[in-house]
Structure 1
């Protein structure tokens, strides 16, 4: 469990910026569609808007005004670094720690114990299919256990909010607002899908570890010649 805790903390340092960029890219389509929804306006505003649109159409700039401008991960990262510094890429770090550290604490001991059940004897390893099933079971269980933290992390790392969407100042504020406005069931949103993703991911990872792909690559690399 301590080894899993340490592994989770090291992982968060690397993956938090990736998570930030992933969420912004996945959320871009929803925000663009929300911005294009028609809104009710007074007749005078409609006349002014139509006049502006007709002028823009005649000048050839209407498509640029109406079409959302997609941003790449690199552009988002540069903008965050420019406006918020390195802290911008690590927004939601606390929530990510709350998700990934407990995940590793649950996953590694659970996998070890489940995998041990498939060993024919104390000095023999379990078959590869058992390692796959153990990885699937341990990964999906850990994913469901930490899903509330994943919900909080996603809400905090979503930078662009709609006009009617809730904003959060931190982990505690996010948890309290979700509990008050959406109820406890909101913390389990996406738990099933997350378990379906994590299960084969860790099952395959354990099979690759069992087969010894990493050891084979390292043993045949130029660095192995330098080892004593």
Structure 2
């Protein structure tokens, strides 16, 4: 693996971790709003921390993440009305993944993959386009951008791209929250139709405020972590190469 690829990998990992640390608590509330019923952002936050504490922020693997985020004491009508009296179904992400595999095989581990692709494939494309356009307009190039510029451009790109896919994200969350053995929804489209019939058009904006609130700091942190790490790694690698050249020249 050449130096540039290695730097890119490590910087991407650091950026992803930074985004996760900043945004995952809000992501938990967003998923619960979308899958458990018409719950306000403030109510969702207060119920989660009051009855489950800070440890109700779980694992970032998407399907497992959603299954663990929805380990509450009841459905949307009961959630947050009293303290949990039963232990969570899953002891951790590994236990959750193994349970999905035992229940429905390999297919169960990829449940909702189609819905996820519908959401992510186009949105990631214009997310990066928006970010690059803003960076070029403000700073000229990415490695010359200030931390504030990186936070602003990353946050705005994330918020704008998420605004366009909230309806799809609602359906994705509901599909992945469904029972893999006895599903309520046949597919993505069936979930759209049933959700609309049961809850009206407003269901497709469920969690919108939390999505935007999460997108701004999360994506800002991702690009700040990525670009800062990348610059430091490149500088470190460059310094190491120059030191080796100098050593060889003096030998």
Bin for the TM-score computed over the shorter chain? 0.5 to 0.7
Aligned equivalents of 2:187 and 2:119: distance in 1? 15
What is aligned with 1:178? 195
Residue in 2 that maps onto 1:214: 230
Contact 2:131 2:153 (C-alpha < 8 Å) held by counterparts: yes
Query: TM-score, with normalisation over the residues of structure 1?
Result: 0.65
User: Hey, what does 2:218 align to over in structure 1?
Assistant: 201
Please tell me whether the aligned partners of residues 98 and 149 of structure 1 are also in contact (alpha carbons under 8 angstroms): yes
Task: Find the partner of 2:149 among 124, 130, 134.
Answer: 130
SS in structure 2 at match of 1:114: helix
Larger radius of gyration: 1
Higher relative contact order (CA 8 A, sep 6+): 2
State the SS of the aligned residue for 2:74. helix
TM-score by length of 2: 0.59
Conserved in 2, the CA contact under 8 Å of 1:132 and 1:203? yes
Q: 1:116 maps to which residue? A: 136
State how many pairs are aligned.
173
Contact kept, 8 Å, 1:178 with 1:186, in 2: the verdict is yes
The change in CA–CA distance for 1:123 and 1:105 in structure 2 (over 3 A counts) is closer
**Does residue 85 in structure 1 map to residue 128 in structure 2?**
no
8 Å contact 1:102–1:146 — kept in the other structure?
A: no
Indicate the residue corresponding to 2:62 in structure 1: 19
Aligned pair in 2 of structure 1 residues 78, 219: CA closer, same or farther (>3 Å)?
farther
Distance 1:214 1:116, change over 3 A: closer
Q: Give me the whole-angstrom Cα distance separating, in 2, the residues matched to 1:129 and 1:69.
A: 40
Task: Tell which deviates more after alignment, 72-81 or 152-161.
Answer: 152-161
RMSD between aligned residues: 3.3
Distance 2:121 2:189 in 1: 18
Structure 2's unaligned 5+ residue stretches are: 1-59, 242-251
How far apart, CA to CA, are the structure 2 residues paired with 1:79 and 1:25? Answer: 12
Q: 1:67 and 1:184, CA in 2 relative to 1: closer, same or farther beyond 3 A?
A: closer
Structure 1 position 107, deviation (Å): 0.7
Equivalent residue, structure 1, for 2:73: 30
Report how far residue 200 of structure 1 moved. Answer: 1.0
Query: 8 Å contact 2:155–2:219 — kept in the other structure?
Result: yes
| 1:35-86, Cα deviation, whole Å (9 max, x unpaired) | 9x9xxxxxxxxxxxxxxxxxxxxxxxxxxxx744532222221121112111
For the pair 1:96 / 2:116, whether they are aligned, the reply is yes
Structure 1: gaps of 5 or more residues: 1-16, 38-65
TM-superposed deviation, 1:215: 4.8
- Aligned-partner Cα distance in 2 for 1:203–1:23: 23
